[in-house]
Structure 1
């Protein structure tokens, strides 16, 4: 057997081994896929059983949802659409309390703005000790992160119930509830932004004799500030929706009025308030999105 033949056989043997290894790897991936797929389906079925979910219940309830929506739809008529508020079937008749609702929507937006502003300030302060790359101590970073987790784990509506009991019914309780939850959520996002910052400016400030606070102020903050503002605007959009919900427990804003009209079955008023909330939230989303994209573009 010549050397060329031996080399050819060795090469064929190596190719065969590679093919066998590839086939075994494919088989393992296939088995893992089927195994995880079966586990996922099992968990879904277990969740459905624990939560009493069933297709029959869903099918029975869907017609009732349609019935409710048919009740809240306004009885608008083309020939009276633009008549005065005394004429049934007109837009003015449907929105007969527009001035009151507009003020409550303004209060809701202000609740969200105040809560977002306060939460952003707290989150920005806590983000630096929470960031593992720049925190003065690993223990401090872990402690701050656990505190932020507690703040964002408890839903806003639970905080709102507590603060309504402590401070009474009104917007103040809602602002505190949204602010605490938002501080936890923004703190995590801000800390991750800080961890991705370039640390060379920090080294320069420290080498010049600067303190840790000065290193954060002049070495990190200019890098991360546009992203901080972008996340804060995104959170403001979320908080407008949250402020509309926590009013259900007496925390002020349009949500309190919405809960009242739902409770008393004032069907057409329910749809009027919902339409106004959707329009306001959409307008705020569009405006803040433009600002956020502008900040991201400026940062780049």
Structure 2
């Protein structure tokens, strides 16, 4: 009797498993077909021309070959007066380094100011820390506005208002950093443990002391990690903002592209890539070896 019941149970279980697998396969097929339809509709709306795309790829290769430097192995390490040397390729290196330093400072300043404002607003935009629903609603909408407008749009507006220079880029990145980090910080607050704050409140602590002593110590590693990640993003963004006159190395890159100074284009792009890689590696090291260790402790 028991063996018969076991067989029935196993048979029912196998049948349910087969039905579940069948339903999942149907769902996967539906998702794939939906994605294909969406891609086809999007392609028809934006008028993607495959022949135009294929014809344009060789021109891209031609441009890349034009911007590559004409280095000569026999004169590679000679001075800047000798064509074919690295020094000749980077004859404008002091200017590039100065602009890279300006780009770095733009991103750093925007990250520091933006993350500081985001931290203050995050307490007001998290459900479990906002003083009331009205402040929560208004702060959330403000952060959405800062986050929803791309940095380059802000940069164009401030370049028009303040003139060409790094100040417009700094303000643009600061606003977008505030919106992005404000959302991330508030989500970290909402996932925090409420017990330390409840203990402070029960012992007579006010709202600022609850945030400072009950919330910040447990969320600080995540906040620093997000801030470092945003700094990496701002380094790349500050390069792009230079194309609209917001200062930094991007503005010089825009000029050399317009004047067809091909070898200078490749020199600047290589410096930007090396700078971004270096900052990414440093940021990754800090997150893994400093922040995570403190978090474990």
> Taking structure 2 as the reference length, what is the TM-score of the superposition?
0.93
- Answering whether residue 26 of structure 2 is matched by residue 31 of structure 1, we say yes
Cα distance in 2 for residues equivalent to 1:175 and 1:155: 13
Q: Distance in 1 between matches of 2:9 and 2:273?
A: 66
Partner of 1:200: 195
CA distance in 2, matches of 1:122, 1:155: 18
Q: 1:146 aligns with which of 141, 146, 161?
A: 141
Which of 242, 245, 250 pairs up with 1:247? 242
Pick one of 106, 111, 118 that aligns with 1:111. 106
Give the greater-gyration-radius structure (CA). 1
Following TM superposition, by how much is the alpha carbon of 1:140 offset from its aligned partner in structure 2, in angstroms?
2.6
Gap regions ≥5 residues in structure 2: none
RMSD: 1.8
Could you say if the C-alpha distance between residues 23 and 135 of structure 1 is closer, same or farther in structure 2, counting changes exceeding 3 Å? same
User: How do residues 119-158 of structure 1 correspond to structure 2 at under 5 angstroms?
Assistant: 119-158=114-153
CA 18–270 in structure 1, closer or farther in 2 if over 3 Å, else same: same
Q: Distance in 2 between matches of 1:45 and 1:267?
A: 38
Structure 2: how far apart are the matches of 1:253 and 1:128? 33
Cα separation, 2, equivalents of 1:170 and 1:297:
40
Change over 3 Å in CA distance of 1:65–1:200 after alignment to 2: same
For 2:41, which of 25, 39, 46 is the aligned residue? 46
The answer to whether the Cα contact below 8 Å between 1:169 and 1:251 also exists between their aligned partners in 2 is: yes
Counterpart of 1:270 (choices 240, 265, 271) is 265
Tell me what 2:285 maps to: 290
Q: Contact conserved, 1:227 with 1:296, CA < 8 A, in 2? A: no
Pair 1:60-2:55 in alignment = yes
The separation in 2 between residues aligned to 1:225 and 1:46, in whole angstroms, is: 45
Residue 246 of structure 2 aligns to a residue in which SS? coil
SS of residue matched to 1:184? helix
* Whole-angstrom CA distance in 2 between matches of 1:27 and 1:299: 44
Partners of 2:236 and 2:226 in 1: how far apart?
16
Q: Distance in 2 between matches of 1:79 and 1:11?
A: 83
Name which of structure 1's ranges 268-277 and 208-217 shifts more when overlaid on structure 2.
208-217
Number of equivalences: 295
The match for 1:99 is 94
In structure 1, stretches of 5+ residues that fail to align are none
Match of 2:295 among 277, 280, 299: 299
Q: What's the CA shift for 1:222?
A: 1.2
Shift of 1:17: 4.8
What is the TM-score when the length of structure 1 is the normalising length? 0.92
Partner of 2:225: 230
Q: Quote the Cα distance in structure 2 between the aligned partners of 1:25 and 1:111.
A: 54
Whether the 8 Å CA contact 1:230–1:296 is kept in 2: the answer is: no
Is 2:173 the partner of 1:178? yes
